Amino acid sequence: MLNSTEMLRLVRAACNGDHLKLSQQIDLLADSVEKAKPTAYTTNLRRLAESEREKGLAVNASLAPVDGLTEPLLPPDGTHKPVWDKTVRELLDGLVAEYKKLDVLTAHNLAPRNRIILTGAPGTGKTTFASILSERLGLDGVILRTDRVISSQLGKTLTNIALVFDRLHMERKLLFIDECDMLLARRDNSHDVAEMRRATNLVLQKIDTLPDDCILVCATNMSSLIDRAAWRRFDVRVHMTLPDKATSRLIIMHRLKELNIQADVQPLDIDIEDVSPALLVQTVDNLSRKTLISGSETIPTDLFVNAFNSLKMEVSNQ
Ligand SMILES: Nc1ncnc2c1ncn2[C@@H]1O[C@H](COP(=O)(O)OP(=O)(O)O)[C@@H](O)[C@H]1O
Ligand SMILES: [Mg+2]
């Protein structure tokens, strides 16, 4: 049960019509009486808390300081185009086409696919995908600041999530949630705190009610941590794979071309796979810097082969 000070806070919030405060205090009351599992009583309390939160947010929505909870998603780097595999290319084209034909689809009671989850190792292009999609749709992109949204103050995380989504509904944007496993964590995890379980519930509910003209892109490299119920909420689930040998060669050759640098190697001399595109591009960039500084525009074969062998070693030792 709540102690007398907390009880007084709850009553005061109710008397003052302070919905957000009241919702926090009701959550606290539910926490204080809930043992291992929710009971009918605590479930009812949670519902009341949720309804008070919604009321509070409706009052505050236009005034609420959502600033700081998101930051702009940077537009794609115009000097570097990713080499996507066919699946990813077709997916991007499909999403753009559907969004542009929103009216046609809605006239037939269909909505464009607008809830996307990308999984894959770091450096496989998840953020780049979100950024390119936002540019191609002509929609401003924002990144959720998970570090700011998740708060240690009771009820604040839920309020922050609701604020971000309410603002998204009003502003028609692309929302990118990186490391979404933090907000969509498995609810069966015994170490989980009640507040984070409720956060996952709220994000799932917000995904369900996402307007057709907003886009949500979630990304994670820890897909095993994601709540099972979350998967089916997404219209598109894509795993960004590490490139095979042929694709790795393409990425390397493509990058050399972008930089206008020659390499004294045949594509078949490049024998590397399962290394992230980010590392491949970084290695080409480093080789190119070295070469240019030495006064040449052609990377010598031994330098090239050694650099990719070292990269292979480095990755296999990780
Ligand atoms: N398919 C790709 N082809 C070429 N470069 C890529 C590709 N995917 C990623 N990159 C490079 O890797 C960098 C990091 O990509 P990023 O989108 O941040 O990966 P992630 O979000 O999956 O960690 C990008 O700036 C880009 O230079
Ligand atoms: Mg990223």
The structural architecture, per CATH, of the domain 70-239 is: 3-Layer(aba) Sandwich (3.40)
Provide the pLDDT for residue 130.
98
**Residue whose entry in the numeric block shows the structure tokens 């749709």:** 137
Which atom of ligand 1 is least distant from the CA of 128?
A: 17
Q: Whose CA is closest to atom 11 on ligand 1?
A: 278
What sections of the chain are H helices per DSSP?
4-16, 19-33, 40-60, 86-100, 102-107, 126-137, 146-149, 156-171, 194-208, 228-231, 245-259, 277-293, 301-316
Residue 186 CA to ligand 2 centre (angstroms): 21
Structural contact between residues 151 and 157, judged by C-beta atoms closer than 8 angstroms: yes
From CA 311, how far away is CA 279, in angstroms rounded?
8
From CA 232, how far away is CA 162, in angstroms rounded?
21
Residue 82 CA to ligand 1 centre (angstroms): 7
All structural domains of the chain with their residue ranges: 4-60, 70-239, 245-316
Q: Whose CA is closest to atom 24 on ligand 1?
A: 278
Provide the pLDDT for residue 66.
62
What is the dihedral sign for C-alpha 175, 176, 179, 180?
Answer: positive
Residue 284 CA to ligand 1 centre (angstroms): 14
Residue 53 CA to ligand 2 centre (angstroms): 32
Residue 168 CA to ligand 1 centre (angstroms): 26
Provide the pLDDT for residue 192.
60
Provide the pLDDT for residue 2.
81
Provide the pLDDT for residue 79.
93
Instruction: Provide DSSP, 61-89.
Output: TTTS--BTTEEEPPPP-TT------HHHH
From CA 61, how far away is CA 184, in angstroms rounded?
24
Provide the pLDDT for residue 240.
96
* Same topology between domain 70-239 and domain 245-316: no
What is the residue type of 25?
Q
Considering every ligand atom shown, identify the ligand nearest to the alpha carbon of residue 180 and give its number: 2
Q: Which residue out of 74, 124, 239, 259 has the highest number of ligand 1 atoms within 8 Å of its CB and is therefore the one to mutate?
A: 124
CA angle 248-254-258, nearest 5°? 145
> Residues near ligand 1 with C-beta < 6 Å?
80, 82-84, 120, 122-128, 251, 277-278, 281
Provide the pLDDT for residue 137.
95
- 287: helix, coil or strand? helix
- 68 CB contacts (<8 Å, ≥6 apart)? 145, 148
Q: How confident is the prediction along the chain (318 residues), in pLDDT tens digits per residue? A: 788 888 888 898 888 788 888 888 898 899 888 888 889 999 999 999 988 888 887 766 544 446 789 999 999 999 999 999 999 999 999 999 999 999 999 999 999 999 999 999 999 999 999 999 999 999 999 999 998 999 888 788 999 999 999 999 888 899 999 999 999 987 776 556 788 888 999 999 999 999 999 999 999 999 988 988 899 999 999 999 999 999 999 999 999 999 999 998 887 788 999 999 999 999 999 999 999 999 999 999 999 999 999 999 998 888
Provide the pLDDT for residue 230.
93
From CA 138, how far away is CA 102, in angstroms rounded?
14
Considering every ligand atom shown, identify the ligand nearest to the alpha carbon of residue 277 and give its number: 1
Which atom of ligand 1 is least distant from the CA of 178?
A: 21
Provide the pLDDT for residue 62.
47
Q: Whose CA is closest to atom 2 on ligand 1?
A: 82
Structural contact between residues 172 and 142, judged by C-beta atoms closer than 8 angstroms: no
Q: Which residue out of 73, 88, 117, 128 has the highest number of ligand 1 atoms within 8 Å of its CB and is therefore the one to mutate?
A: 128
Residue 60 CA to ligand 2 centre (angstroms): 32
Structural contact between residues 56 and 23, judged by C-beta atoms closer than 8 angstroms: yes
Considering every ligand atom shown, identify the ligand nearest to the alpha carbon of residue 123 and give its number: 1
Q: What pairing do the DSSP bridges indicate for beta strands 174-177 and 115-119?
A: unpaired
| CATH label, 245-316, candidates 1.10.490, 1.10.8, 2.40.370, 3.30.70 | 1.10.8
Which H helix or E strand runs over 1? Answer: none
